[in-house]
């Protein structure tokens, strides 16, 4: 069944490529975004949807109606978050019509959740967890923040976990049920590239640690780190 699906996806990619006009020399190909979205949806069964994009006349402004958008181009709008899907036909249609749209993972439910923190603090936390022999899952990195993917958790479970902590830094953020995460090879809201610091397996299911296993190291590492406050800088 997987081989049949793989052949169908390849035929779909070939058809889309034949219909797409050749990119200008000054424009990067958008095919990696379509490939990434299809891989998330079909290989890992992660529900995805396209980000809202940037204003055509001002690359620094978000295309959404909010003039003070804190994550320009890197959040859901139309379609909304509830439209996230693993259907390859819908995914292909979205990125054929919006080839430069960022790739968003709808977190929670049966999909991965994530915990994000400033990049320097995250690197320290990851080094500590590795030294403890902790097996980590995929890690998404932007120029300013890293996001560690973890097994799905409920808001109630997360609330109980954080309630037991003396202090939870504002620079530590949680992407759970009803949330989303920007995935590679999208462009972050600050203009930098989103990449895999630790890439998922190329095929099959992706192993994820439980949030309880990593949260202590992340809280300790992010205490006193910059990147807190209300503006969600990527």
DSSP 75-119: S--SS-GGG-B--HHHHHHHHHHSTTPPEEEEESTTS-EEEEEEH
Q: Which of 23-27, 77-81, 136-140 shows the lowest mean pLDDT across its residues?
A: 23-27
* Segments making up each domain of the chain, as ranges: 2-222
pTM for this one? 0.81
Q: Looking at residue 3, what is its pLDDT?
A: 54
Q: Which of 8-17, 58-67, 71-80, 218-227 has the highest mean pLDDT?
A: 71-80
Distance of CA 198 to the CA centre of its chain: 13
- In sequence order, what are the residues at sequence separation of 6 or more whose Cβ sits closer than 8 angstroms to the Cβ of residue 47? 41, 84, 85, 86, 105, 106, 109, 111
């Amino acid at each position: 069944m997987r081989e049949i699906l793989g052949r169908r996806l390849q035929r779909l990619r070939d058809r889309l490529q034949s219909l797409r006009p050749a990119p200008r020399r000054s424009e990067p190909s958008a095919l990696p975004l379509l490939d990434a979205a299809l891989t998330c949806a079909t290989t890992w069964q992660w529900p995805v949807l396209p980000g809202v994009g940037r204003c055509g006349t001002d690359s620094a402004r978000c295309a959404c109606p909010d003039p003070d958008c804190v994550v320009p181009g890197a959040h859901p709008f139309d379609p909304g978050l509830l439209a996230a899907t693993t259907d390859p036909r819908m995914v292909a249609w979205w990125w054929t019509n919006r080839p430069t749209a960022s790739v968003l993972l709808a977190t929670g439910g049966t999909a991965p959740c994530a915990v994000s923190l400033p990049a320097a603090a995250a690197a320290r936390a990851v080094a500590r967890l590795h030294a403890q022999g902790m097996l980590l899952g995929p890690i998404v990195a932007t120029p300013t923040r890293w996001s560690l993917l973890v097994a799905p958790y409920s808001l109630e479970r997360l609330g109980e976990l954080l309630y037991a902590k003396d202090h939870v830094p504002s620079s530590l953020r949680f992407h759970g049920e009803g949330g989303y995460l920007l995935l590679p090879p999208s462009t972050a809201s600050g203009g930098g590239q989103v990449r895999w610091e630790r890439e998922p397996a190329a095929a099959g299911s992706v192993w994820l640690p439980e949030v309880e296993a990593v949260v202590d190291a992340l809280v300790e590492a992010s205490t006193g780190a910059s990147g807190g406050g209300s503006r969600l800088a990527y």
